[in-house]
Structure 1
């Protein structure tokens, strides 16, 4: 949560320790951005490489109201450290590509974006369309997807839609 704590966690991870942590961020790209940008700019390259080499996964959640106001359900974004993810983490200016890499990795690696998670919850009847739209990351793409338009490659959404 602060530079010293993150630095300690990175050193522990680099020496083989399992490090679990929480950050108050909205998703995986913001989490990575927060970790890197807590350090002075002259250290960004070093920190970016340390994160790319040592992170195993990032899970983020948003609690969404269930249909019929029957409590809440977690919509979970899952990012797993794959070769593609490590490549994006290690290179400056590529964090904006993480969401597409996460979406594309759902079949092979079990990853999913928030929007994929919300679509799955909506398709199963667990949440309403209004709740999905309130919590989605990219409202325009989500609306296109609901209308049957493929805003991204169709295989990245297999299993989330009927």
Structure 2
């Protein structure tokens, strides 16, 4: 009984450690990633033109941040559920969502960024924040309860 309780404490502590790592990514985003939209969307962006960007560097920054968030999210999912099939499924979804979101982001940015700033904002938000973790945790919990 004590061992089982200890195992849950370790799992919760590990999950909290990974959540803290996600918070640290957010806290140090200015120095870790190239993203001219960080300051742009903090201001009055409706009245400002889209900032000058280096598309390749922006893609690299978005990819690196998405990769870090995805890795930590998958670690949280594994620690909480201990299910390799869930990790495989979530990894596949993360990959598919990345391809779709990056394509949508750069399409909006290059074709109609000045006229669709809200679309740019929200697609970018899904790329840089671990929002999918908030969607996957309840879904996986529900799936686990159904089995």
Using the size of structure 1 for normalisation, the TM-score is 0.25
Comparing both structures, which one devotes a greater share of its residues to helix? 2
* Larger RCO of the pair (alpha carbons < 8 Å, separation 6+): 2
Normalised to the residue count of structure 2, the TM-score between the two structures is 0.27
**Bigger fraction of residues in strand:** 1
